[in-house]
Amino acid sequence: MSKILGIDLGTTFSAMATIINGEPRIIENKEGARTTPSVVAINKTGERLVGILAKRQQVTNPKNTIFSAKRLIGRRYSDPEVQRDKKLLPYEIREASDGGVEIKMGDRWYKPLEISAMVLQKLKVDAEAKLGEKITDAVITCPAYFDDSQRKATKLAGEIAGFNVRRVINEPTAAALAYGLNKKKGERIVVYDFGGGTFDISILNVSEDTIEVIATGGDTHLGGDDFDQRIMDWLLSEFKRTEGIDLSKDELALQRLKEAAEKAKIELSSVLETEINLPFISADASGPKHFYYKLTRAKLEELVNDYIAKSIELVKQTLKEVNLQPKDIDEVVLVGGQTRMPKIQEELRKFFGKEPNKEINPDEVVAIGAAIQGGILEGGVRDVLLLDVTPLSLGIETLGGVNTILIPKNTTIPTSKTQIFSTASDNQTSVEIHVLQGERPMAQDNKSLGRFI
């Protein structure tokens, strides 16, 4: 029986794992790395590059190097988050004929899910080469707070890449599977998942044979990318203040700054101060200008403090929804590269009154969990009952454009609900049912899942 590949399709990096001799193992890519940048490019000769090769030439080819496609997947072009990203991304995006998003790469326009499919295809090819066998089945993860269209787009990306997608599971649920694999006693855990583009918080009961999601919350547009952008904005304003030169329209300089900002952020998780040194960043009448600044950990914390506070607020809110206190939580499991930031760990320590669990590599835990789910499906791993919840409420539009919620968020699934409604006028022969996903009181402010008569 062929193996099932567990894939963490991340905003900035992706990882893959499978069950080997009864144990989940991370599979290295062709370049020998345990994670693969979620970056796709078309170079000057028209060749398509994926992963580290695409990332390496990003500085010199910003318009044709696509990153963070996951932030756009399954979204409508009119979404405020897409409009915000449009101002910051070096590549072109436009509205597709169906109201979605299209990305320009080379001389063609692609849907975000097609970009994700290229990343998944590389993982498939590399895994097959590493394992020496053909792989068709996969379990792919997505943020718990993804809505229906984002989940469908993720599944379709997998199918375009050549996979039979057996399941799309939530990233925190996958992390809980990895964490709970050999746990004997029952625990109530929080999975705090701060990745490159999304933030998820899930509360779960984990025991030897059951993983039950109690509640989930988050923000599908809050991640490490936003931290990088804050550093970039600060560097741009400092350079303008000291040198009088505005680099915000210089594409090449912006890409160099983006790379330097990400590198500095990572370094500041282990040191208190780092140098950002970019020679020949620009020039004026007096000659070339060099970019040299020191960034301290304290300054970084000041720049992104509101983002960290927002994540803690979402944790509070999610606990409140299910009437839990911080003291009711046994373990806090960290997921996503951004959780390496000492300030985030400090805030979690203060809030929960305990040290966050750092046993499992935050970059790999989700892929490991996806592989375990694959192992359960193929029968090679002890069965675990997974009880998940709806991340967002489901309802229908009723008279006056109101969103009438039938299935509240955090309801254990599968579930069904029956409710009787009367028609708006007498002798009506048909009625249009407009299905919605979201918490807002008015129908127009929620995600439309479809209409039927």
Closest CA to 40 of 16, 67, 18, 73: 67
DSSP conformational letter for 272: S
Q: Does the domain at residues 224-301 carry the CATH identifier 3.90.640.10? A: yes
Over residues 293-303, the mean pLDDT reads 95
Torsion sign (Cα): 87, 89, 94, 100: negative
CA separation, residue 5 to residues 19, 117, 384, 445 (Å): 8, 15, 18, 37
Query: Which pLDDT score, from 0 to 100, does residue 151 have?
Result: 94
The ranges assigned to domains in the chain are 4-84+100-183+359-385, 224-301, 394-452
Give me 199's structure tokens.
């933030």
pLDDT digits (tens, 9 = 90+) for 2-52: 899 999 999 999 999 999 988 999 999 999 999 999 999 999 899 999 999
pLDDT for 194: 95
- For the ranges 55-59, 305-309, 353-357, 423-427, which has the lowest average pLDDT? 423-427
pLDDT in tens, 211-259: 899 999 999 889 999 999 999 999 999 888 888 888 888 888 888 899 9
Amino acid at 159: E
What pLDDT shows up at residue 279? Answer: 85
- Region 124-134: what's the mean pLDDT? 97
> Which class for 414: exposed (0-12), middle (13-18), buried (19 or more C-beta within 10 A)?
exposed
Q: Is 80 exceeded by the pLDDT of residue 404?
A: yes
Confirm if 132 and 138 have CB atoms less than 8 A apart.
Answer: no
pLDDT at 222: 92
> In terms of C-beta density within 10 A (0-12 exposed, 13-18 middle, 19 or more buried), how is residue 75 classed?
buried
Name the H helices within 268-296.
none
Q: Is the pLDDT of residue 1 over 80?
A: no
Count of H-run helices and E-run strands, the chain: 10, 24
Task: Output the CATH code of domain 394-452.
Answer: 2.60.34.10
Task: Name the amino acid, one letter, at 33.
Answer: A
Q: How far apart are CA 303 and CA 322, in angstroms?
A: 32
Q: What is the pLDDT of residue 359?
A: 83
3-class secondary-structure state, position 76: coil
Catalytic residues: 8, 70, 171, 193
When pLDDT is averaged across residues 437-446 and rounded to a whole number, the result is: 89
Question: Rounded distance, CA 190 to CA 330, Å?
Answer: 8
pLDDT at 182: 63
Q: Residue 452: what pLDDT? A: 82
CA-based R_g, the chain, Å? 23
Residues in the chain: 453
Say which residues have a Cβ less than 8 Å from residue 176's Cβ, sequence separation at least 6.
189, 191, 202, 204, 206, 211, 213, 333, 369
Q: Which residues of 346-367 are buried (b: 16+ CB within 10 A; e: fewer)?
A: ebbeebbeeebbeebbbbbbbb
Q: Check residue 285 and give its pLDDT.
A: 64
Mean pLDDT score, 131-150: 93
The 3-state secondary structure of 296-362 reads EHHHHHHHHHHHHHHHHHHHHHHHHHCCCCHHHCCEEEEECHHHHCHHHHHHHHHHHCCCCECCCCC
83-124, pLDDT tens digit by residue?
A: 999 998 999 999 999 999 999 999 999 999 999 999 999 999
The residues facing 289 across adjacent strands are: 282
Q: What is the pLDDT of residue 249?
A: 83
Rounded Cα distance between 91 and 65, Å, is 7
pLDDT average, residue stretch 316-333? 95
Hey, is 372 helix, strand or coil?
helix
What is the percentage of the chain residues whose pLDDT exceeds 70? 98
Q: Peptide bond before 80: cis, by omega within 30 degrees of 0?
A: no
The per-residue pLDDT for 26 is 97
Instruction: Tell me which of 52-66, 236-250, 328-342, 397-411 is least confident.
Output: 236-250
What's at 54, amino acid-wise? A
Q: What is the pLDDT of residue 448?
A: 86
CA 321 – CA 335 distance, rounded (Å):
22
307 near 227, Cβ under 8 Å? yes
Average pLDDT over residues 275-298: 82
Burial 191-220 (b: 16+ CB within 10 A, else e): bbbbbbbbbbbbbbbbeeeebbbbbbbbbb
As a whole number of Å, the end-to-end CA separation of the chain is 44
CATH class held by domain 4-84+100-183+359-385: alpha beta
Q: Which residue has the higher pLDDT, 413 or 41?
A: 41
- How confident is the model over 348-402, as pLDDT tens digits? 999 999 999 988 899 999 999 999 999 999 887 777 888 888 888 999 998 889 9
User: E-assigned strands of 67-112?
Assistant: 93-95, 101-105, 108-110
Other Cβ atoms within 10 Å of 45 Cβ, number: 5
With cut-offs at 50, 70 and 90, classify the pLDDT of residue 422.
Answer: confident
184: pLDDT confidence band, cut at 50, 70 and 90? Answer: low
Mean pLDDT of the chain: 92
Q: How confident is the model at residue 278 (pLDDT cuts 50, 70, 90)?
A: confident
Rounded distance between C-alpha atoms, residue 225 and residue 11, angstroms: 9
In SS3 terms, 166-222 reads as EEEEEHHHHHHHHHHCCCCCCEEEEEEEECCCCEEEEEEEECCCEEEEEEEEEECCC
Q: How far is CA 326 from the centre of its chain?
A: 25
Other residues' Cβ atoms within 10 Å of the Cβ of residue 301: 17
